[in-house]
Structure 1
Amino acid sequence: MKLPSTKPPVQLVIFDMAGTTVADEHEVEACFAQAAADTGLTVSAERILAMQGMGKRQVFDLLWREQLAHPTADTTRYVERSYGRFTEVLEDHYRNNPVHPTDGCLETFAFLHLLKIPIALTTGFYRSVTNIILGQLGWLDDLNERFEGTDESVIQLSITSDEVEEGRPRPFMIQKAMQHFGVTDTQAVINIGDTPSDLLSGQAAGIWYNLGLTNGTHTRQQLEPYPHYYLLNSLTELPEFIRSI
């Protein structure tokens, strides 16, 4: 890939949540698997992992179409039952278990604050569970009713998959974040996530610095085949990456 002749300074960093900025020991997959089992949907752990980062309602729709072996079937009642059960299990988990930032996350946020680079979080979660997670971390406190922060807030924007036309791997959450901050140059944006869908959405949005994170839900070997500019071992490496560009 040819490098751009001029590289503008970074104007925005867009982070995924679970596995990237929020520690995830595969509990989201476990919640998804439980909801699937409870509602009669058969799916392997490998298949669930492969679709991490995507909007969960969309995932249930895809999986039910596969199980029914009828791509044009009306899956609405199946999807709603599975998705409803998933929201119950997931929200119960995050309400009743500690939530922690990933290794290097807070230090990286502090570095970006010093440079006055805004931080946007995107997620395949829906808004209500996202707020539970942000609240557990103390990151919700300074956000307004549109989930926008100030320069002093831990994050400056939160976007969920149910607030755009389609979630990942489509580019709409990234595009919404760029529009919010008035950033038009895709070479001035870093998109970072730990799943294939994170990288695919970055590619779809035309993000130059499309970064994978290999200490989240997916390994380096699992992320390597997907479009990326660079793969980080952890968020502790992001400040040095930004200095290098």
Structure 2
Amino acid sequence: MTLKQTLDTHSAIQAVIFDWAGTIVDFGSFAPTTIFVEAFKLGFDFEITLDEARQPMGIGKWDHIQAVGRIPSVASRWQAQFGQAMTTEDIDKIYAAFMPLQIAKVTDHAEPILNAVEVVNNLKAKGIKIGSCSGYPRQVMDVLVPAAAQYGYYPDYIVATDDLPQGGRPAPFMALKNAIELGVTNVKCCIKVDDAVPGIEEGHNAGMWTVGLLLSGNEAGLTYQDYLHADQATLHSAREKARSKMLAAKPHYLIDTISDLPQVIVDIERRLALGEKP
């Protein structure tokens, strides 16, 4: 059975709102994490690990840098190296280093994750609108969006983390802005798909169904080649590592990658027909 055959020709679902890195593009969410490591090094000659860079993933990038600085292991090393806690001015300097690096390199990670374009196009064929939002600021999205379009990914609406004055995740504003602009009449007929806890919380706060991704995203931290060549034991370990973190946000569904989304769509359609709500 093909992905297209698993979906009916009509749906009660009005919109699906996708995250970007680790969800639609950039298997493993490496574009932002590796750049955070570089930005700390460039801004202050300070070392953080890739695992530390991943911990606050999903929130806006300035807030992400602040959150990394508050990780106990990072805060301790920062105090030892500089004799004081990280300041707002320090965060500004790291963010200033981060932005040009991210803009320069985000296109290297713009290729859609396996089957993402097919899944999205099948949803569109059912009349489902495709929204999107990201922890990336608008400057980065202005580079990433046309790069992803070259691979065939065209969401109907896009919100960057700094587009709205109310702020980003886990608040619901980016998801709700998508719903407004896409003409959604009932948020219970929307689905938020994300690979990080703040994005799932965003979906809950917006009153939507939520779907967490385990193997393509930030929490598993696998490259696409890792994923392709991993044995079942390795995949199980990565899956459970991600599951242990994602369960904190209580997603309605947890799946490996966007390839598994069509089956979730069918089940949510069934539940909506029964009168269920997120």
TM-score per shorter chain, which class? 0.7 to 0.9
Spell out, residue by residue over 1:35-57, the C-alpha distance to the aligned partner (whole angstroms, 9 max, x if none).
Answer: 01222356443332121111001
| Aligned-residue CA RMSD (Å) | 2.5
Aligned to 1:201: 202
Are 1:240 and 2:251 matched, yes or no? Answer: no
Spell out, residue by residue over 1:116-147, the C-alpha distance to the aligned partner (whole angstroms, 9 max, x if none).
Answer: 11101100001121121111122699xxxxxx
Aligned to 2:177: 176
- Aligned residue type for 1:167: G
For 2:195 and 2:155, the matched residues in 1 are separated by 19
- Aligned residue type for 1:36: F
For 2:126 and 2:160, the matched residues in 1 are separated by 26
Equivalent in 122, 143, 148 of residue 132 of structure 1: 143
How far did 1:65 drift? 6.0
Equivalent in 13, 34, 40 of residue 10 of structure 1: 13
- Quick check: which has more Rg, 1 or 2? 2
Q: Secondary structure at the match of 2:133?
A: strand
Are 1:230 and 2:231 matched, yes or no? Answer: no
Structure 2 unpaired stretches of 5+: 1-10, 80-84, 220-241, 270-278
How far did 1:98 drift? 5.6
For 2:47 and 2:68, the matched residues in 1 are separated by 8
How far did 1:170 drift? 1.4
Whether the aligned pair in 1 keeps the contact of 2:196 and 2:246 (CA below 8 Å) is: yes
Are 1:78 and 2:90 matched, yes or no? Answer: yes
How far did 1:222 drift? 2.8
From the superposition, tell whether residues 64 and 234 of structure 1 become closer, same or farther in structure 2 (CA, over 3 Å): closer
For 1:139 and 1:174, the matched residues in 2 are separated by 25
Aligned to 1:4: none
How far did 1:75 drift? 3.5
For 2:90 and 2:41, the matched residues in 1 are separated by 12
Spell out, residue by residue over 1:84-139, the C-alpha distance to the aligned partner (whole angstroms, 9 max, x if none).
Answer: 100121112125x3621011211111111111111011000011211211111226
For 2:243 and 2:177, the matched residues in 1 are separated by 28
Percent of residue pairs identical: 24
Equivalent in 9, 32, 36 of residue 36 of structure 2: 32
Whether the aligned pair in 1 keeps the contact of 2:21 and 2:31 (CA below 8 Å) is: no
Equivalent in 91, 102, 105 of residue 93 of structure 1: 105
How far did 1:63 drift? 4.0
| TM, length-normalised to structure 1 | 0.81
Give the ranges of 4+ consecutive aligned residues of structure 1 lying more than 6 Å apart after TM superposition.
Answer: none
Whether the aligned pair in 2 keeps the contact of 1:64 and 1:78 (CA below 8 Å) is: no
Q: Which has the higher helix share?
A: 2
For 1:214 and 1:98, the matched residues in 2 are separated by 19
Are 1:220 and 2:243 matched, yes or no? Answer: yes
Structure 1 unpaired stretches of 5+: 1-7, 142-152
| TM, length-normalised to structure 2 | 0.72
How far did 1:74 drift? 9.5
Whether the aligned pair in 2 keeps the contact of 1:103 and 1:236 (CA below 8 Å) is: yes
113-122 vs 129-138, which moves further: 129-138
